[in-house]
Structure 1
Amino acid sequence: MNNVQFASLDDVKKELLIMEGYDVIPTKQWPLYEILAHCAQTIEYSMTGYPQLKPRIVRKTIGRIVIRKFLKQGHMKHDLTAHVPGAAKLEKQGTVKEGIGLLLRVIDAFQAYEGKLAPHLIFGDLSKEEYDRYFTMHVTDHFSEVQFAS
């Protein structure tokens, strides 16, 4: 899926439904299930709270600068092997279909969520629209290493 670009989490959901029918070439970093579960985990933490936050000064300064840059340019690059700090390691490995189902359920839960969103571990307080755009870029960056067999 090199050069994949999603405009919203709705686009991500459409692609996930298409992905179910393709064979996946193993990724360089993580199995596809783990990528899908990691993306679901980060979205879920926006509703339940991240296990660890960077210091407030980081979230109010550097974090705000970085998220503004990402949102302005419409894409991001990050360490594709980095787990969420403080999160339990993803123990369960599953099938691609299970990972797709997990990520779809969490995106649906986020889209339906009406409560107060938790601050992002680095970027601090984000609106629901900012989170949607950030999560879309986060998934896009991870999906950039996913390839499908023709």
Structure 2
Amino acid sequence: MNRRSFLQLAIGAPIAVLLGGKVVAMARHYPLDELLTQLKRLPPAKLISQGQWNVSTVLQHLAQSIRYSRLGYPEAKTALFQYTAGSIAFNAFAATGSMHHALDQPIPGAPALINSVPNDVALAELVTELELFIAWQGDLAPHFAYGTLTKQQYYTAHYLHIQEHLTEISLS
């Protein structure tokens, strides 16, 4: 392999991988409305958490995330982070259909979650935020880590975020 071919491959391969991941990510469908229906059917009094947070704080965290996508996040990563690592992470999550992040990490700058909020109140807040988001016709705020997202991309982000946190919640 000559030097020119090597350089073309070294530059082209990562670009092809990133673009391929983005194409796969855009082709997947994440039915946030179906997830909303499932959440409405959950029996709040019977939910338990196997994670660091109790059920209520998990649900409050999810509601915060959805609310901030409409109204703006309190803090954001740098633009460089959003356009590089954040964008790559989002596209990887969307392409694979699963998100992986620390499940006890609050949203940067968000008010503290309140452990004593009853599960039914926290679940009602999450359901309300999802309904507001689905009906939202206005501009969306940039995600604190992923940057500017379309509404469909936010559907993906919220769907995957909720699904990941629900892995720590079960029925008693």
The amino acid of 1:104's aligned partner reads: V
In our comparison, the structure showing a higher alpha carbon Rg is 2
Matched, 1:96 2:119: yes
Segments of structure 2 that go 5 or more residues without pairing to the other structure are 1-28
Displacement of 1:99 after TM fit?
1.3
Residue identity over aligned pairs, in percent, reads: 31
Displacement of 1:90 after TM fit?
1.7
Match of 1:79 among 81, 102, 106: 102
Name the residue aligned to 1:68.
Answer: 91
* TM-score where L is the length of structure 1: 0.89
Secondary structure, counterpart of 2:100 in structure 1: coil
Matched, 1:39 2:62: yes
Name the residue aligned to 2:38.
Answer: 15
Displacement of 1:22 after TM fit?
5.9
Question: CA deviation digits over 1:16-50, x for unaligned, max 9?
Answer: 12212661234321111111110000010011111
Cα 1:64–1:83, aligned 2, differ >3 Å: closer, same or farther?
A: same
Deviates more, 1:106-115 or 1:7-16: 7-16
Secondary structure, counterpart of 1:126 in structure 2: coil
Name the residue aligned to 1:140.
Answer: 163
The amino acid of 2:82's aligned partner reads: R
Displacement of 1:92 after TM fit?
6.1
Name the residue aligned to 2:131.
Answer: 108
Question: Greater relative contact order: 1 or 2 (C-alpha under 8 angstroms, separation 6 or more)?
Answer: 1
Segments of structure 1 that go 5 or more residues without pairing to the other structure are 1-5
* Alpha-carbon distance between aligned partners in 2 of 1:19 and 1:43, rounded to the nearest angstrom: 19
Task: Name the Cα RMSD after superposition.
Answer: 1.7
Contact 2:45 2:120 in 1 (8 A): no
Secondary structure, counterpart of 1:147 in structure 2: strand
Contact 1:76 1:138 in 2 (8 A): yes
